[in-house]
Structure 1
Amino acid sequence: MMCSLVVILLLSISSSVASHGAGAGSQRYHVVKTSHLEPESLCSGLKVAPSAEGTWVPLHRPFGPCSPSAGRAPAPTLLEMLRWDQVRTEYVRRKASGGAEDVLNPAKPRVLMSQTDFAVRSPFGVGSGSGSSAWIDADGDPTVVSQQTMAIDTTVDVPWIQCAPCPIPQCYPQRDPLFDPTTSSTAAAVRCGSPACRSLGPYGNGCSNRSANAECRYLIEYSDDRATAGTYMTDTLTISGTTAVRNFRFGCSHAVRGRFSDLTAGTMSLGGGAQSLLAQTARSLGNAFSYCVPQASASGFLSIGGPATTNSTTVFATTPLVRSAINPSLYLVRLQGIVVAGRRLGIPPVAFSAGAVMDSSAVITQLPPTAYRALRRAFRNAMRAYPRSGATGTLDTCYDFLGLTNVRVPAVSLVFGGGAVVVLDPPAVMIGGCLAFTATSSDLALGFIGNVQQQTHEVLYDVAAGGVGFRRGAC
């Protein structure tokens, strides 16, 4: 019986998204129930079944009713999510600029957070042993796997999980049993000096000793001073119980610094570097992946190897994919305009010249100040019938809907390079009674397309073709 590595993937999310295509942006207002602007308490499941064009796993919100861990931990407040989002995106922005601080805002305050991440989850696995379950692989052979829960991150390259031995407080407590590589017949440490070890680049952390059989070590540092370190190794990654990725390289963590969520065993990385899940499956499954970040009460999916379409005629609204010369791990797009209540705002094109990161884990879309001020002005004008309330964290346009059953929300669309138009549903426009956008420090700062705006779209990262696509209503 073969022992293999399986993992449960995760994405970071928070609210909802909607449409694209011909005529997008023509609708001026949505009349919605105020209850529909808040998360629901019942799981509605997957709306569209992904096809076999790629191998796929389901995605769930970490605190939503569709999550396997629903009810095990209190849901975070909006303010906690915004604080974490600020720290994380500032860290990604520094990486994109080669570590340089924003020259217009060099003295950023340190943000204290009571939570560590808000990533989404899905099923994969690792090795065998405690908590293991038997799957049948693509060859029809029984495979023993230890279920794990992992976070998906499209800005990081090296996948990693906590591995035994990993005593607390050297490691953090997790809900899933620790993966024990000694119980897996296919697990092996990467040798120091090997091409795989050298490919770690800045993630390399030397060797276990000076012998010829020395093991390769890795180190990944995150925002807010968190880090993970351990042995770089290989094992068989099993995706959804049907696809085996043999000799899959990942970090086997034996020590962490800082706080990580006990709902996850590590991170499955989908960045553009040579160590990511995408790079390791590009030849066998195709150099593309897609995901659909669901609303809190629904299930989404992650598809490796291509779009999880229901038929071959499904159309994605596509924009060119831009890669960062300093940090090629990031996926960038060009936002070119915003439509509010059927009218395109008069934003100078130069305001969008810094580009924006397509990020599975960013919560709120961050716009250049020039663009954000134009959006805020148009939105406030369209919402002038409703009383304003105080700001929530970085969200400065909030409303008091107490006692109201229905609300008239202006339609908002994002216009990308190449003509792709993404029309947002009301829960993707407003979160917690606030306009779900914020401003970067300057028009020269890199922006982010957050998962609040990506929700319910299948977002396709077609790296082979150099494009990012959006398909409406996929989850």
Structure 2
Amino acid sequence: MALNISVLHRCILVLGCLLYSHSSQALEERSTDNTWHVVDVRSLFPSSVCSSSIEKDSNRLTITHRHGPCSPRPTNYKPTDVEILKHDQDRVNTIHRLVTSARKNTIGESLSVSLPAKSGIPYGTGNYRNFVVQIGIGTPRKDFIVEIDTGSDLSWIQCKPCKTCYNQTDPLFDPNLSTTFSSVPCSSTDCTKLDIRSCSKGKCQYVIVYEDMSRTHGLFVRDTLTLGRTDTLPNFMFGCGISNAGTFGKIDGLIGLGRNRVSLISQASSKYGAMFSYCFPSRSSYTGYLSIGKNTVSNVNFTSMVQKPDTPLDYYVNLTALKVGGQLLKISATVFAAGTVLDSGTDITRLPPTAYIKLRDRFRQLMKRYPSAPHLPPLDTCYDFTKHQRVQVPTISFVFSDGTTLDVNSTGLFYVSKLSQVCLAFAGNSHDSYLGIIGNIQQKTLQVIYDIANKKIGFGSGGCK
């Protein structure tokens, strides 16, 4: 009888190992109570080979990591962790300054610098880890690689004849070679859609100066924009930059996904509807997508898109609570009173310090089986996974005022420097009065849908790898 029990035990153990081995081939495996991820540590690192599972559609653009193997213009340059995180913090600092300034202007407080409240507000671009897409401009079509940014409205690319241009991989756009190109006259009502504008020889001009002193200046123009393979948007208005400098890397420009009058979404709404969606890939060796217009999706939970006309940002959500390991943290909803914005250009999620400390402490408590690693500022919760093939990680969820819950995918929990330094990809603001930001790392693999017409934002799982 003892022998039979021993054999039975061995069989159970073998079966358990086989099942666990099978689950580790997937990126994650959740327990039935939705409190844990089981992660194969190898899945935290990208491959050197591109693996694309996104099919091209007429108005769907392929999203790639700027420096990954799937990039249409791959380079050998790899930014350091210090560069990435410093640039990310610079963007966050700028967002906080601009929001604070705009709110002070609204309530009549005096400021040394007056900032407009909407279109063209530049709070930083060129993030080393940002996502890019390929678009077509002009007739015949010329392809360009541009960064996507939900925090910007005006789209722009570098153009000939360029007085001052930074180096980019593609040839500059030459308006003389496009049969559908035209300048926007100063007398046009379209010129007034720019908050910061000037005129030269009857032609409308734009100027954007970013907080890090990067800048773009040139003509406000129209030409045909091609999305995906064949879908076109005639008379698309954008900036044709002839004087540009700064930390833009080698991208050709930017596509603005804000809500104001000159953004791509506003200009395309009559054709596609006031809606767009995207999915950021989990690793730089995968691809995601940006879809303009209605998207047929399922299993999506929507929450309200909060209106805050006193700030230069568009996509606010009403975050009121957090869960770690399935447990609701004891945080007063008033801690989040400064607001929370969904931003494609910020990497690391920033929370009010009161909320972040609660989240961090609970996460550390549940992760105490793993050895800690040195901090990677501003990230202060890091682990050494060198002796582990798989790790068990607590789930993290955002809870909104209407009860909608956003469960962060396992790939959205960590910033991975190396196997011996894997850090929780959340950080605290310096004060609870500063705006919270849900960054793009926490949005990985999710279908994120911006239904502007109905003022709601949706989140669905399994949008891309």
For the pair 1:84 / 2:87, whether they are aligned, the reply is yes
For the pair 1:377 / 2:361, whether they are aligned, the reply is yes
Q: TM-score, normalised by structure 1?
A: 0.82
Q: TM-score, normalised by structure 2?
A: 0.84
- Of 289, 304, 312 in structure 2, the residue corresponding to residue 301 of structure 1 is 289
Q: Distance in 1 between matches of 2:209 and 2:222?
A: 21
* 3-state DSSP of counterpart to 2:190: helix
* 3-state DSSP of counterpart to 1:279: helix
What does the per-residue CA deviation read over 1:415-459, in whole Å, with 9 as the maximum and x for residues that have no partner?
Answer: 123222122232211222011100112111111110000010010
For residues 295-374 of structure 1, the aligned pairs below 5 Å read: 295=282, 296-309=284-297, 314-327=298-311, 329-374=313-358
Residue 131 (structure 2) aligns with: 120
Post-superposition offset of 1:466 = 0.5
What does the per-residue CA deviation read over 1:39-95, in whole Å, with 9 as the maximum and x for residues that have no partner?
Answer: 333322125x4777xx2111111112221223x132222222111111112222322
Residue 5 (structure 1) aligns with: none
Identity of aligned residues (%): 38
Distance 1:97 1:450, change over 3 A: same
Residue 15 (structure 2) aligns with: none
Give 1:120's aligned amino acid: F
Deviates more, 1:238-247 or 1:189-198: 238-247
Matched residues, number:
413
Q: Distance in 1 between matches of 2:252 and 2:340?
A: 29
Distance 1:81 1:453, change over 3 A: same
Residue 280 (structure 1) aligns with: 267
Q: Distance in 1 between matches of 2:426 and 2:230?
A: 39
Q: Distance in 2 between matches of 1:90 and 1:124?
A: 30
Residue 158 (structure 2) aligns with: 162
Residue 247 (structure 1) aligns with: 235
- Of 178, 183, 186 in structure 1, the residue corresponding to residue 172 of structure 2 is 178
Q: Is the contact between residue 98 and residue 326 of structure 1 (CA under 8 Å) also seen in structure 2?
A: no
Give 2:304's aligned amino acid: P
Deviates more, 1:264-273 or 1:320-329: 320-329
For the pair 1:232 / 2:236, whether they are aligned, the reply is no
For the pair 1:453 / 2:442, whether they are aligned, the reply is yes
* 3-state DSSP of counterpart to 2:69: coil
Q: Which has the higher contact order (CA 8 A, sep 6+)?
A: 1
* 3-state DSSP of counterpart to 2:131: coil
Post-superposition offset of 1:150 = 0.6
Q: What is the alpha-carbon root mean square deviation over aligned residues?
A: 2.3
Give 1:60's aligned amino acid: T
Residue 60 (structure 1) aligns with: 64
* 3-state DSSP of counterpart to 2:68: coil
Residue 152 (structure 1) aligns with: 148
Q: Is the contact between residue 154 and residue 270 of structure 1 (CA under 8 Å) also seen in structure 2?
A: yes
Post-superposition offset of 1:340 = 1.1
Residue 13 (structure 1) aligns with: none
Residue 271 (structure 1) aligns with: 258
For the pair 1:32 / 2:26, whether they are aligned, the reply is no
Q: Is the contact between residue 154 and residue 239 of structure 2 (CA under 8 Å) also seen in structure 1?
A: yes
* 3-state DSSP of counterpart to 2:134: coil
Q: Distance in 1 between matches of 2:428 and 2:410?
A: 20
What does the per-residue CA deviation read over 1:248-291, in whole Å, with 9 as the maximum and x for residues that have no partner?
Answer: 110000001323211x1100101111100001011111001111
Q: Is the contact between residue 357 and residue 447 of structure 1 (CA under 8 Å) also seen in structure 2?
A: yes
Give 2:53's aligned amino acid: L
Residue 11 (structure 1) aligns with: none
Larger radius of gyration, structure 1 or 2? 2
Q: Distance in 2 between matches of 1:315 and 1:28?
A: 20
Post-superposition offset of 1:341 = 1.3
Give 1:453's aligned amino acid: Q
Q: Distance in 1 between matches of 2:288 and 2:84?
A: 20
Give 1:40's aligned amino acid: S
Deviates more, 1:326-335 or 1:289-298: 326-335
Q: Distance in 2 between matches of 1:246 and 1:25?
A: 50
Post-superposition offset of 1:223 = 2.6
Q: Is the contact between residue 102 and residue 311 of structure 2 (CA under 8 Å) also seen in structure 1?
A: no
Gapped regions of structure 1 (runs ≥ 5):
1-16, 104-112, 129-143
* 3-state DSSP of counterpart to 2:268: helix
* 3-state DSSP of counterpart to 2:262: coil
Q: Distance in 1 between matches of 2:190 and 2:357?
A: 47
Q: Is the contact between residue 335 and residue 352 of structure 2 (CA under 8 Å) also seen in structure 1?
A: yes
- Of 188, 207, 210 in structure 2, the residue corresponding to residue 194 of structure 1 is 188
For the pair 1:390 / 2:371, whether they are aligned, the reply is no
Q: Is the contact between residue 24 and residue 423 of structure 1 (CA under 8 Å) also seen in structure 2?
A: no
Distance 1:242 1:469, change over 3 A: same
Give 2:458's aligned amino acid: G
Q: Is the contact between residue 237 and residue 246 of structure 1 (CA under 8 Å) also seen in structure 2?
A: yes
What does the per-residue CA deviation read over 1:194-238, in whole Å, with 9 as the maximum and x for residues that have no partner?
Answer: 21111102x31x1113xxxx1011001223111100001111111
Post-superposition offset of 1:24 = 11
Post-superposition offset of 1:18 = 9.4
Q: Is the contact between residue 62 and residue 118 of structure 1 (CA under 8 Å) also seen in structure 2?
A: yes
Gapped regions of structure 2 (runs ≥ 5):
1-26, 110-123, 417-421
Q: Distance in 2 between matches of 1:247 and 1:97?
A: 36
For the pair 1:219 / 2:207, whether they are aligned, the reply is yes
Distance 1:402 1:361, change over 3 A: same
Residue 13 (structure 2) aligns with: none
Q: Is the contact between residue 394 and residue 438 of structure 1 (CA under 8 Å) also seen in structure 2?
A: yes
Residue 69 (structure 1) aligns with: 73
